[in-house]
Structure 1
Amino acid sequence: MEYLEFGCRVLLGGVFAVSAGSKVYSRTAFTDFTAATARLTGARVARARQLAVATVAAEFAVVVALIVSALVPWGFAAGIGLLAVFSAAIVRSLRRGQRAPCRCFGASNSPLGPQHVARNAALAAFGVLGLATGLSDTAAALDLGPACIVAFAALIGVALVARLDDLIGLFRTTATS
């Protein structure tokens, strides 16, 4: 069970690290994310900037909490909560007919859609799984070999999640004229 929890930690921590990092790697990236936050929430620019900063800070906090052993349950709980908030914002935006890109993972121009809510629900399920498996009192040390395999598999999951819009675009059929 400890490998399952470890895999969930790497997956969620990796997804939140890539998400936060893609928003702050340049001034332009953060400006684009702030503009997307304004469109998504309907907030004015100053308020959207505060929300963008809070979002990035919360994402980095989840990453740190999933790294520090004593904070892991809090990291899973915060990650699940953050994903729920993101999903609620996406659903609200979709109900208003707004399908602007959210810049969840940087420069994606893919419009918001149900796939983003499904992605967040799947990630939240991994958070719940990690939280549930981590509640056992047995804290055994992980063997390096299996831990590396689990981490590698989880990092493949991070890459798939981060590039989900591109993967969907590859397999989406387009109408020909």
Structure 2
Amino acid sequence: MGVEYLEFGCRVLLGGVFAVSAGSKLYSRAVFADFTAATARLTGARVARARLFAAATVAAEFAVVVALIVPALVLWGFAAGIGLLAVFSAAIVRSLRRGQRAPCRCFGASNSPLGTQHVARNAALAAFCLLGIAAGLSDGAASLDLGPACVVAFAALIGVALTARLDDLIGLFRTTTATL
């Protein structure tokens, strides 16, 4: 097994994460309205402009997914993923510095407040983008065998699920104090 499986795994992981993220924002009008309101809080924009930012975010996420599917665009997809994650992280950091911890609705209906874990998640995803670029630039342009490719895809899809449900997983392990 070579770098072609590494690149494939990064494509599935990142394509899956961006697809789930975009799709979860379009699940219903109410969910998109919640995302638009969260975008307004994050950016400080008025509702009309926040609606444009929200639509552009979803479009950019879908564009990354498409680029990661089309072989000639894969490296551009990874690069665009890094750029998009950097913009998301900057918005989160800006919001945290202003003391705003409202939910960002990154993956739809999450009510978890913004925190450094969201920036760390984006940094980890950007690292996978860089890994995908490095693997894509190597001379390992061999075709994939079905069996190992399925194993790699399955592992990447587990990563997608864990990423999309990160807030819930963190909530499971947070200590709570009980009142007596």
TM-score scaled by length of structure 2: 0.97
Partner Cα separation in structure 1 for residue 143 and residue 18 of structure 2? 25
Partner Cα separation in structure 2 for residue 140 and residue 70 of structure 1? 15
Q: Which residue of 2 aligns with 1:124?
A: 126
The structure 1 residue matched to 2:99, chosen from 92, 97, 100, is 97
Letter in 2 for 1:123: L
Partner Cα separation in structure 2 for residue 121 and residue 68 of structure 1? 24
Alignment of 1:75-90 (within 5 A): 75-90=77-92
**Deviation of 1:69 (Å):** 0.3
RMSD over aligned Cα, in angstroms?
A: 0.6
The structure 2 residue matched to 1:106, chosen from 101, 105, 108, is 108
The structure 2 residue matched to 1:20, chosen from 19, 22, 33, is 22
Partner Cα separation in structure 2 for residue 138 and residue 83 of structure 1? 27
Q: Which residue of 2 aligns with 1:163?
A: 165
The alignment-based identity, stated in percent, is 88
SS of the residue corresponding to residue 101 of structure 2 reads coil
Letter in 2 for 1:134: G
What runs of 5+ residues in structure 1 fail to find an aligned partner? Answer: none
Letter in 2 for 1:172: R
**Deviation of 1:138 (Å):** 3.4
TM-score scaled by length of structure 1: 0.99
Q: Which residue of 2 aligns with 1:73?
A: 75
SS of the residue corresponding to residue 56 of structure 1 reads helix
**Deviation of 1:137 (Å):** 3.3
Letter in 2 for 1:64: V
Partner Cα separation in structure 2 for residue 20 and residue 57 of structure 1? 8
**Does residue 30 of the first structure (1) align with residue 36 of the second (2)?**
no
Partner Cα separation in structure 1 for residue 170 and residue 11 of structure 2? 25
Q: Which residue of 1 aligns with 2:152?
A: 150
